[in-house]
């Protein structure tokens, strides 16, 4: 049994990972803003309400987590923000928000985790959640793709730096995964959000279009990504690995 921190734990890939870890008997601190409640998480893990866009919250995440469950052996850094827009609509606030959550917070938490592992002489494992958009970006994803490219780069840099002290760092790069974030409608500039049946129809059309992008003919599932994360947490020879789990999306034309 391991003690694991999971960020972005209230939904999507983060919550699926919490479920998978708890299901095999690990103790988990589930970090999220929890602005919509934490009851579903509290049944299987220890919820910890933090806003990782805040430097102060990111820097107290390790100490607060270990106060709850003791020495943490591993981290899964799944928290992220994705707000896609054409470049002419991008402002400094959008850039800062993406880099604060997607890049700065993971770096700060990796720093603090490495310090603890080194001081204890204990091994550790970190898995970052990247994206195929960090490998093969699409239009209107410049800011998000930049952050996920940074996640991939820092995974490799940290893997080389921390391997000598027994801390393995890896990343998973999913394609399109069926989550609330993915189902959020991509609207044209100035378009109002549709409501009711029209909104549901548009969401279904959007997901069908995403499915057609993948040679496998469907989008990924959060549960399958979580299974890949658990593999990387445990695979002793995985160091600096970026596991692409994308249904063939980046392999070539369907």
Phi then psi for 243, rounded to 5 degrees?
A: -85, 110
Residue 19 exposed, middle or buried by CB count within 10 Å (0-12, 13-18, 19+): buried
* Separation between Cα atoms, residue 224 and residue 209, nearest integer Å: 20
144 part of the active site = yes
**Ramachandran class of 154: left when φ > 0, alpha when ψ lies in -120 to 50, beta otherwise:** alpha
* Buried residues in 190-227 as b, exposed as e (16+ CB within 10 A): eeeeeeeeeeeebeeeebeebeebbeeeebbebeebbe
Note whether 78 and 129 are within 8 A (CB): yes
Q: Which of 77, 65, 50 is nearest to 158 (CA)?
A: 77
Contact 131, 173 (CB under 8 A): yes
Angstrom distance (rounded) from CA 202 to CA 205: 5
Marked catalytic residue, from 129, 144, 225, 243: 144
On whether the CB atoms of residues 169 and 151 are closer than 8 A, the answer is: no
Instruction: Tell me the β-bridge partners of 125.
Output: 74, 168
Half-sphere exposure of 90 (CA within 13 A, CB side): 17
Sheet with 242-245, side-by-side order of all strands: 46-49, 27-32, 3-7, 74-77, 124-129, 167-174, 242-245
- The residues assigned a catalytic role are 144
């Amino acid at each position: 049994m391991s003690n694991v921190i999971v960020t972005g734990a209230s939904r999507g890939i983060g919550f699926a990972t919490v479920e998978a870890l708890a299901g095999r008997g690990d103790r988990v601190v589930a970090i999220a803003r929890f602005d919509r409640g934490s009851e579903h998480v509290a049944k299987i893990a220890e919820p910890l309400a933090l806003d990782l866009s805040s430097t102060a919250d990111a820097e107290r995440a390790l100490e607060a987590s270990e106060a709850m469950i003791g020495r943490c052996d591993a981290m899964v850094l799944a928290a992220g923000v994705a707000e896609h827009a054409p470049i002419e609509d991008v402002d400094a606030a959008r850039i800062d928000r993406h880099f604060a959550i997607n890049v700065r917070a993971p770096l700060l938490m990796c720093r603090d985790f490495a310090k603890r592992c080194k001081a204890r002489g204990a091994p550790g494992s970190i898995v970052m959640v990247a994206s195929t958009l960090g490998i093969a970006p699409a239009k209107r994803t410049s800011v998000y793709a930049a952050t996920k490219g940074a996640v991939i780069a820092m995974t490799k840099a940290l893997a080389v730096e921390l391997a000598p002290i027994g801390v393995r760092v890896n990343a998973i790069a999913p394609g399109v995964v069926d989550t609330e974030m993915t189902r959020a409608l991509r609207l044209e500039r100035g378009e109002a959000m549709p409501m009711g049946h029209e909104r549901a129809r548009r969401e279904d059309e959007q997901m069908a279009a995403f499915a057609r992008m993948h040679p496998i003919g469907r989008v990924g599932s959060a549960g399958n990504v979580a299974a890949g994360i658990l593999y990387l947490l445990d695979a002793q020879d995985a160091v600096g690995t970026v596991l692409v789990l994308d249904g063939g999306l980046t392999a070539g034309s369907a």
